[in-house]
Every structure is written in structure tokens, then in C-alpha cells.
Amino acid sequence: MQRTIDWADGAVELIDQTELPEREVVLRITDVAVLVDAIRRLAVRGAPALGVAGAFGVVLAARAHDPADDPDRFAAAVASVREARPTAVNLARGVELALGRVDGGVDAVLRAALDLRDDEVAASWSLSAYGADLVRELVGGPVRTMTICNTGALAAVERGTALGVIEELHARGELVEALPLETRPLLQGGRLTTWELARMGAPHRLLVDSAGPFLLSRGQVDVVLVGADRIVRDGAVANKVGTFSLALAARYARVPFVVVAPESTVDPATASADDITIEDRGPGEVVGVRGVAVAPPGTPAVNPAFDVTPAELVTAVVTDRRVVRFDRGETLGSVPLGQRRTPSRT
Ligand code: MRU
């Protein structure tokens, strides 16, 4: 599959995820405002991919406004990228990383962005291997996995996070079935995760969000695997709204609840859940689904795009460099970074 985001012939190229699964459309972007719009409307989305988009955004900004000659317009363009979405720490991080190389000129900024892209690809493959090993340790034999949102290659440049683990389990012959939640309001599970599962040939059945806790309570799930947009110092996890409900249900059902994310999503500078900005995307996405009204005109609505799951509901956090067993009293601060894995690519 083409990478979800990349740099080609002087432009950011990205798969427009709003068009999936109906159409595979690749956008070529050379303008900061167009990139910001793509981020806001989720044409590119998912924490690791947003980090790479942020870094490429700085490249576009530096090309449009020489940072030395026109620092104000450069700074404004960079700020518009950084602030396009608030919850995933990767976006601001990607911007800052590229910004740190601005004194070296546009080529140095581009090199930093390309390095970040490569780093996220390597991280995805590593955490997929760590995650699949952990699932075997926690559950044993072939497993039924539940997940929410889209955490595959579309969200992470290549391979994915939680869906990367599911793909690795499938490659190892250890996946009985994947159960993706449709993920209202924007249906990342229904539109994107099913698309990726079908392409990898993995057995799966889609379910509505509210069926997740019930299937957990009926013993139909062996492990819940979710991604993250930000994992803060006390271990709380911001991820797609609906994640918290799954964690509560998993605890009730005594099913392991595993968070899978690269180290670039770990944010020790933010202390706890209360310090995380949760994006509210407004009522439109709630009262209508893909252009079809599902509520009377003018219905007020609340639309938090993410929720926060406290560390006490998380069995383990798997990253590209470590597995942190919260269920054994380990914390992000107590487990040092280890080596990346370099599994053979399937
Ligand atoms: O609003 P989205 O689609 O960007 O939300 C994405 C998620 O919540 C993902 O679970 C998270 O970014 C991890 S992606 C590997």
C-alpha cells in the first residue's frame, strides 16, 4: 500500500482518508493552508501520521516564507499547523522537531521531517512485534481482539499501532477474529479499519460502538487493543471517544486492555488527564452522518472527539521500546526505554 503520507517531488502526498472506502484519492499539497485544512477535516489523521504531517507543514511554511526574511509570516504559518488539532501530542511534536532545524535552511527542515517519517515507520514495526508477544503472554493461544477507531497504516504511515499488533497476530496465525467498533461520529472503524483488515485478509466483523461492552461481558473478546493520541505522565490515555467505555467494560469482564502507541505519543510534560485538551468538533458530525441528517434540524449536540482512560483501567502500555505493565504496578517512569525490534516485514 502507498504510505498514508509522504514527501514526493516537492509536495506532501497523502491518501485522503475522508474518501475511503469508496475512493482512493491521493492529494498533492504544497500550500500550508491546504495542509491545515486536510488535518482539520481528517483527510490525514491518527497520531503518528499527524506528527509527520506537522513536520512537513514546517517545510511548506519555510518554503513559502523565508524564516530569516519574513519571520512573522513564517511563525504564523507554523502556528496554524501546530494548532490544527489539539489532542494528539504528535502534531505539535512533529512541528517542534522540524522547527528545531530551521537554522539549517529548508533542506535541513525537510531532512528532519523525512527522518521523523522513517522513525515512525520503524516504531510501528517494533511495537507491533512487542504487542503481539504481550498478547500471547496475557492470553495464550489464538485470540479474538476488539479495537476502536483506526490505528493501522493509515494512521501511522506504515503498519500501525493497535491494528499493527492485530496484523502481526494475523501474520503469526494467532488471530481468530478482529472486532472493530464502527467509531461514531466519523466512522474510522467502519470506513477505514475494515478496509485495512480486508486488505490484510484478516477475519473480522464490524459492530456498532454500543455493542462493544456487551460482547466483552459475554466472553466474546480475549483482549482489547487500542491506540493513543497522548499518554500523560500519570499513565492516563487520551484516545478516540469510546475508548473509556471499552476500558470500563474490559475491567468488568476481566479482559486485558492494552494501549499501543509509539514513544512519540508519550507526553511526560503533561501531568494528568485534567491537563489534556480534548478537541470538540462541534454538533455537525453528531446530527448528521456523511451528509444525512440523523436528528431534527437545530438539535444541540456535544462532540468530544476523544476521551481519557485512567491508568488504573489499563493492563499495559506497549511502545516501540518497552512494555509497561500497569497491572503489575509498573509506571511510565519506572520502566526504562529498551531496544527497538526489527521484525521481518510481511
Ligand atoms: O480523530 P482521529 O481519527 O485522528 O483519532 C485517531 C485515534 O484516536 C487513534 O486511535 C490514535 O490517533 C492512534 S493512531 C495510531
What is the average pLDDT score of the chain? 97
221 contacts 215 by C-beta, under 8 angstroms: yes
16-37 pLDDT, tens digit each: 999 999 999 999 999 999 999 9
pLDDT at 346: 61
Q: Is 327 a catalytic residue?
A: no
pLDDT at 343 over 80: no
pLDDT at 344 over 80: no
pLDDT at 2: 82
294-303 pLDDT, tens digit each: 999 999 999 9
| Nearest residue to 162 (alpha-carbon basis) of 91, 245, 262, 247 | 262
Residue 48, ligand 1, Cβ within 6 A: yes
85-138 pLDDT, tens digit each: 999 999 999 999 999 999 999 999 999 999 999 999 999 999 999 999 999 999
Which residue's CA lies nearest to atom 10 of ligand 1?
227
pLDDT at 1: 65
Query: Measured in angstroms, how far is the CA atom of residue 39 from the centroid of ligand 1?
Result: 12
Mean pLDDT of 25-53: 98
**pTM for this one?**
0.97
Query: Measured in angstroms, how far is the CA atom of residue 104 from the centroid of ligand 1?
Result: 32
Residue 88, ligand 1, Cβ within 6 A: yes
pLDDT tier for residue 345 given thresholds of 50, 70 and 90: confident
pLDDT at 311 over 80: yes
Q: Dig out the grid coordinates for 62 from the structure.
A: 519555510
250-267 pLDDT, tens digit each: 999 999 999 999 999 999
41: amino acid identity, one letter: R
Give 298's contacts (C-beta < 8 A, 6+ positions apart).
Answer: none
Percentage of the chain lying above the pLDDT 90 cut = 98
Radius of gyration (C-alpha) of the chain in whole angstroms: 19
Buried b (16+ CB within 10 A) or exposed e, 170-196: bbeebbebbbbbbbbbbbbbbbbbbbb
Q: Do strands 288-289 and 292-293 pair parallel, antiparallel, or not at all (unpaired)?
A: antiparallel
Q: Dig out the grid coordinates for 276 from the structure.
A: 489534556
